[in-house]
Amino acid sequence: MLNLARNPRPPTPRNDLEVPEYSSGHVLALDEIESATLRQVVEHWSSLRGERKFPSRADLNPKHFRNLLRHVTLLRVIGGGADYEFRILGDVQVQAYGENFSGMRLSEVGVKHPKFAEGLKIFYDGVRMGCYAFGYRGWIGRDMPDTKYSFHELVLCPLGPTDDTVDHILVAGIYVMRGAKAE
């Protein structure tokens, strides 16, 4: 079970010399999301679900995200969670990851980036199996030198035909790139 306890936010590193030795982060309840952009994504997702636990993929129209779409990733669940396919990948995500994974499966990404794919699968499995949305805030340390960003905040939201079946996952994120000053 994911820990949804409130955690104070440590300061974001202001430069590469302040980057922590090891990566760290924590799961957030939706009301703990700080990014205004991510709160807008959550509000839109919530408005689509109505009385349900979460909306279906058919309820989601990427055009309704307008300027938020650049922060969005849409994944299709394959084989009950055996794999995930990147259907939509916004340009903010592409910049943060350094590659465009659109049309690829997570298992394909894992061939080149095994630790990265393993970490993503844990999050995606959590959304799929838990059938609920949550946030995550984390800092990338020197233990992951190939990562292009030092800080990120994410929201992960299930989509599916029933309240106990997740067939797509909506992810939105904001990132502070390495060497950039935090706002």
pLDDT digits (tens, 9 = 90+) for 132-164: 999 998 877 656 656 666 778 999 999 999 999
- Percent of all residues in the chain with a pLDDT value above 70, rounded to a whole number: 78
Residues 107-115: contacts with CB within 8 Å, 24+ apart? 107/83, 115/144
Closest among 137, 128, 130 to 84, alpha carbons compared: 128
- The average pLDDT across 171-181 equals 76
d(CA 75, CA 87): 5
Between 8 and 24, name the one with better pLDDT: 24
- 127 by Cβ neighbours in 10 Å (0-12 / 13-18 / 19+) ranks as buried
Q: Which fold has domain 16-177?
A: Beta-Lactamase (3.30.450)
d(CA 143, CA 180): 19
In this structure, of 46-50, 130-134, 138-142, 174-178, the range with the lowest mean pLDDT score is 138-142
d(CA 46, CA 14): 34
Closest among 163, 180, 179 to 53, alpha carbons compared: 163
Residues 6+ away with beta carbon under 8 Å from 129: 81
d(CA 113, CA 183): 29
Instruction: Report whether 33 contacts 153 (CB < 8 A).
Output: yes
- 3 by Cβ neighbours in 10 Å (0-12 / 13-18 / 19+) ranks as exposed
pLDDT at residue 105 tops 90: yes
d(CA 70, CA 153): 15
Report the predicted TM-score, pTM, of the whole model to 2 decimal places. Answer: 0.85
Q: Which amino acid is at 96?
A: A
